[in-house]
Structure 1
Amino acid sequence: MSPRQITVLGECVADAFTEPANTANELALRVLPGGGPANTAVALARLGVPTRFLARLSGDVFGRMFRAHLEASGVDLSDAVAAAEPSTLAVAELDAAGQAAFSFHAQNTADWQWAPGELAGVDLTETACVHTGSLALVSEPGAAAVEEFLAAASPRVTISIDPNVRPLLVDPEVYRAKLAHWCGLADILRLSEDDLGILLPGTLPERACDLWHAAGARLVVITLGADGALASLDGQRLLVSGAATRVVDTVGAGDSFTAGLLRHLAARGLLGGRLDALGLDDVAEACRFGAQVAALTCSVAGPNPPWRNQLEQLATAGGA
């Protein structure tokens, strides 16, 4: 069987949520560890997957919070870089439906300063899949080093990419210019319907899947919020319903879905190559599991994905 370790590469972001303050001229913030790739690494580790996280972690107060959070969740940080730069901060405002709008404080922060030498020595012998995406793939100067790492890794492992478009921080044209190249590197492309609307406005999801298949991605999954997900494997498509839940907020839901998807595929030995043994039934099961993980994440505040025993309890109660 292929090795089951999953290596995640990308950023940590301090997610600051506004809260009522004591006086009118004050703003209270509650800060939680976040960042798309970090959320996915945490979710994978909590689901019982051996998970390594390649990150540049600052020594500031947020960086120390990230490290403690990742290690407490069981993430391997042995190849993380101790960075001199400050951490990235995002301030979130939640609407009535729990959807978050972020403003970023990310100039010259640790996450984007990758140098080729920092990734050149990473051993992928025990890795079945490398997952990355979000700002790490588009923020210079480190984005080029990340793409070089993926290109070197792709002949040996399954590559999973989540673009996680942040138009307030990076011009969508940057994502559009790079996406075909990423599909050429990736076996799995997971993105949200919001991402689709930004990357290919007015394009039907099925048409988008065909475009990304033609560029090289074998499995494309577009998450549709509470409506579930559309999955396309080499052009064979299916819709998977969402899992019912009481939504507190949706922060980290897509990252948790990706973790559930990858965990299911890893547990069945389907990662580690070009997905040659993957069938549409496997995709359906993996998406259903991903939807359950995402639903549990939405049921609590912030990017706080569930642990494996919570999924097991749900299954025992007949909820899976």
Structure 2
Amino acid sequence: MSPTSSSPPDGPGPAGPAAPVAVLGECVADAFTAPPPAGAPERSVPSLGLEVLPGGGPANTAVALARLGTPTRFLGRLSGDVFGRLFRAHLTASGVDLAAAVEAREPSTLAVADLDAEGRAEYSFHAEGTADWQWTDAELATAAAGPASCLHTGSLALVRPPGGEAVERLLERMRERATVSIDPNVRPPLVDPAVYRARLARWCAAADILRLSDDDLGHLLPGTGPEEAADAFHGHGVSLVVVTLGGEGALASLDAAEGRVRLRVPARPTAVVDTVGAGDAFMAGLLHALHTGGALGGRLDGLTPGLLRDALATGADVAAATCAVRGADPPWAHRTNGPRDD
């Protein structure tokens, strides 16, 4: 499926399919090793060059959503430092609404990526006392006050103290007026997976959509297959579970009134440069298609198997396009792949 653009409403209105998708979470400066520039003089001591790109799971999803044409509002705490200015420029240029972002005094979060031969990244984080985790209930109440068809969140902002518990409380309030979507995006170097496991049942009770990668699943429910895991998550209350399986595509499980629906879509073939931001891009493609199809705004009551399959295919296409370039640089709507036959 080729993603289609939707237009933002002319002005504020009630929550519903036409209202923006609100994305809550962190911005992270992703630093990649870079070779020295051609002609640079030799040094007498070892050195390491870094190329810094804007990243962070929720910010990546917001950028991808906006580039696809979905009206998107980012709820983040953005530092005034050099990285914070980079984030603002990137989000704004991609069409993301930053009117609800908090101007934070704390520094930005930095992650240094080490890529393996297959382009998969391992990160070392520099995140103590940084802006992303300092949410208060008052800040969140102000940031989330506008209309929204969906609140999407997850990753570190949902588990890092002191703000993680405040974000959890916001989910309960937002559920009264919008679809709630969560992507745990487990990061063992920063947070013990046991912390995620302890909170997962509460997240499923608050959420309508839960997206995990196969790596996330391995950390949260070791040895459990995607179908069995989806059944467990449904038991805690979440209606739609999506597990992305890397090169094997994605599985979706929908707990609908007429029964449980299972769907699989293959991955889109692509020449992989790296997989940074692929899961975030998949999530954006999924939410974009659900927003365009009018399924967001409530408890997914209008979600049909056909629309869900289209949404999964859109997510796979956007993820593939992101894997084909360096870093989390998702495609604009006019640069995504065309129709697919699966």
TM-score by length of 1: 0.96
Pick from 270, 280, 301 the counterpart of residue 255 of structure 1: 280
Q: Provide the rounded CA distance (Å) in 2 between the counterparts of 1:226 and 1:49.
A: 26
Are 1:270 and 2:295 an aligned pair?
yes
Q: Provide the rounded CA distance (Å) in 2 between the counterparts of 1:192 and 1:298.
A: 15
Deviation for aligned residue 1:145: 1.1
What letter corresponds to residue 282 of structure 2 in structure 1?
A: F
The equivalent residue for 2:30 is 15
Q: Provide the rounded CA distance (Å) in 2 between the counterparts of 1:319 and 1:105.
A: 44
The equivalent residue for 2:67 is 46
Pick from 298, 311, 315 the counterpart of residue 338 of structure 2: 315
Deviations 1:267-289 (A, max 9, x none): 01110000001122211110001
Q: Provide the rounded CA distance (Å) in 2 between the counterparts of 1:35 and 1:2.
A: 26
What letter corresponds to residue 31 of structure 2 in structure 1?
A: A
Deviation for aligned residue 1:3: 2.5
Pick from 187, 190, 201 the counterpart of residue 166 of structure 1: 187
The equivalent residue for 2:166 is 145
Deviation for aligned residue 1:120: 1.2
Pick from 191, 204, 222 the counterpart of residue 243 of structure 2: 222
Pick from 173, 185, 193 the counterpart of residue 214 of structure 2: 193
The equivalent residue for 2:324 is 299
What letter corresponds to residue 169 of structure 2 in structure 1?
A: E
Compared with structure 1, are the counterparts of its residues 154 and 303 closer, same or farther at alpha carbon in structure 2 (3 Å cutoff)?
same
Q: Provide the rounded CA distance (Å) in 2 between the counterparts of 1:252 and 1:290.
A: 12
The equivalent residue for 2:39 is none
8 A contact 1:39–1:303 mirrored in 2:
yes
8 A contact 1:243–1:291 mirrored in 2:
yes
The equivalent residue for 2:148 is 127
Q: Percent identity?
A: 62
8 A contact 2:79–2:106 mirrored in 1:
yes
Q: Provide the rounded CA distance (Å) in 1 between the counterparts of 2:230 and 2:304.
A: 17
Mapping 1:52-63, distance limit 5 Å? 52-63=73-84
The equivalent residue for 1:80 is 101
Larger RCO (alpha carbons 8 Å, 6+ apart): 2
What letter corresponds to residue 6 of structure 1 in structure 2?
A: V
Which runs of no fewer than 5 residues in structure 1 stay unpaired?
Answer: none
8 A contact 2:17–2:292 mirrored in 1:
no
The count of corresponding residues between Structure 1 and Structure 2 is 317
The equivalent residue for 1:202 is 223
TM-score by length of 2: 0.90
Which range moves more in the overlay, 273-282 or 46-55?
273-282
What letter corresponds to residue 30 of structure 2 in structure 1?
A: D
Q: Provide the rounded CA distance (Å) in 2 between the counterparts of 1:44 and 1:298.
A: 16
Q: Provide the rounded CA distance (Å) in 2 between the counterparts of 1:216 and 1:319.
A: 33
8 A contact 1:4–1:49 mirrored in 2:
no
Pick from 88, 92, 110 the counterpart of residue 89 of structure 1: 110
Q: Provide the rounded CA distance (Å) in 2 between the counterparts of 1:226 and 1:88.
A: 30
The equivalent residue for 2:21 is 6
The equivalent residue for 1:157 is 178
Which runs of no fewer than 5 residues in structure 2 stay unpaired?
Answer: 1-15, 37-41
8 A contact 1:243–1:292 mirrored in 2:
yes
Deviation for aligned residue 1:239: 1.1
Task: Give the secondary structure class of the aligned counterpart of 2:212.
Answer: strand
8 A contact 1:221–1:232 mirrored in 2:
yes
Task: Give the secondary structure class of the aligned counterpart of 1:257.
Answer: helix
Give the superposed CA RMSD: 1.4
Deviation for aligned residue 1:123: 5.0
Deviations 1:150-203 (A, max 9, x none): 110001100000000000110110000000100001000001000000000001
Task: Give the secondary structure class of the aligned counterpart of 1:288.
Answer: helix
Q: Provide the rounded CA distance (Å) in 2 between the counterparts of 1:169 and 1:28.
A: 24
